[in-house]
Amino acid sequence: MIDRLDATPDCSHLIVEWKGGATTKLPAAILRREARDAYSTRARIDNGEIAVADGLTITNLVQVGAAGVNVHFSDGHDRAVYPFVYLRELSDQYGN
């Protein structure tokens, strides 16, 4: 499904290279806002949305098995796991 994941040099976007040749750039702010971990889900229930700091960046990417990636952000959030299927959905909706 995915050939390569990396952050842009300024760490403001996640680059997803899909098998078959397509590439998507997803903004760190979108990934943070759309995180599905328990903390983020609770914050959306309580506040209606995730507050994203200006200049948010990706600080680390950790492979989770064969089907996902854990993205760490400059605001300290490091619990969001993005299954590759979910990255595809986000790419279709927000990618460029």
Question: pLDDT tier at 95 (50, 70, 90 boundaries)?
Answer: confident
92's tokens = 């279709």
pLDDT at residue 69 is higher than 90: yes
Domain span holding position 42 = 2-94
Number of folded domains in the chain? Answer: 1
CATH number at residue 65: 3.30.2020.30
Can you name the residues that pair with 92 across neighbouring β-strands? none
pLDDT at residue 11, rounded to an integer: 98
| 12-68 confidence digits (pLDDT tens) | 999 999 999 899 999 999 999 999 999 999 999 999 999 999 999 999 999 999 999
